[in-house]
Amino acid sequence: MPLAGVRLPLGPMIRKSNVIHGLLTAFAPLSLATLLSAQTPSAQDAAPPAQPHWLSDMMANAGTVGYVIVLLSVVSLALAIEFFMSIKREKLAPPDVIDELEALFEEEQFQEAMDLCESNRTYFTNVVQAGLSKLGHQFETIQSSLREMQEEETVKLFQKISWLSLIGASAPMLGLLGTVTGMFDTFGAIAAAGGSVQPADLAGGIKGALVTTIFGLIVALPTSAFFFVFRNRVVRTTIEMNAITEDLFERFRPKAS
């Protein structure tokens, strides 16, 4: 049917299209945000809860025994540093003192050698001074005095490093003590609850009980290693210094007829 000459009412249609366009413009962002929020989990739901650092977690569950073990670790480290600085050849037998004593012995200035030993108190000078104090006696008497002082000074060194041995042996025992007391408290809680407890209720207590054992082993292993290192150093250094001392006093041995 020919449409020529037919006039359609375009005004209402244009107004309706304008209203629909406005509604779509207003609600489109809201609908898109709603759709995205429904499909994408929130950051709080997606991210797992933050776990505490393992060290801070262990310290929080250490208890009194655990803090005692931490204190022992500080003492052990301080002793190890001090022994590294003091128990060595340069400290126990300074090379310049050895050279000066050898020169004095060659010149037979034994009183000056005695004064030098008194002003420089070390392992080596204490042994030499003990031998010089017996000059004029038989060589066996001088040699006996030297050996007695060598044993005394060596015992002092071993007593000094024995603190590391004590800490190395005590740390795991303290850790075991903390574990046993923690387990005692845990089983006490089970008894108080009448046995109606869940494993999750006990996991925290058992975890705290095991922390002290971990601390004890962490402290004991390096401390025991330090002790063996210094023990071997004492043995090696004392043997070397005793040989030097015996060479100094060998001149007083009577000549074989």
Cβ-contact 178, 63 below 8 angstroms: yes
pLDDT tens-place values along the chain, 257 residues long: 444 444 444 444 444 455 444 444 544 444 434 434 444 444 444 445 555 555 566 666 667 888 899 999 999 999 999 999 999 999 999 999 999 999 999 998 999 999 999 999 999 999 999 999 998 889 899 999 999 999 999 999 999 999 999 999 999 999 898 888 878 777 776 777 665 666 665 666 677 778 888 899 999 999 999 999 999 999 999 999 999 999 999 888 887 65
For the full predicted model, state whether its pTM sits above 0.75. no
Cβ-contact 240, 89 below 8 angstroms: yes
Q: Distance between CA 250 and CA 128 in Å, rounded?
A: 12
In one letter, which amino acid is 251?
A: R
DSSP sequence for 10-39: HHHHHHHHHHHHHHHHHHHHHHHHHHHHHH
Give CA angle at 165 (160, 170), nearest 5°. Answer: 130
CA dihedral 100, 101, 102, 105 (to 10 degrees): 130
Q: Distance between CA 255 and CA 247 in Å, rounded?
A: 15
- Widest Cα–Cα separation across the chain: 159
Alpha-carbon separation of residue 214 from 100, 121, 140, 201 (angstroms): 52, 42, 55, 22
Does the CA dihedral 154-160-165-166 come out positive or negative? positive
Q: Distance between CA 198 and CA 34 in Å, rounded?
A: 41
Please identify which residue in the block is written with the tokens 């004890």: 216
In 3-state terms, what secondary structure has residue 143?
A: helix
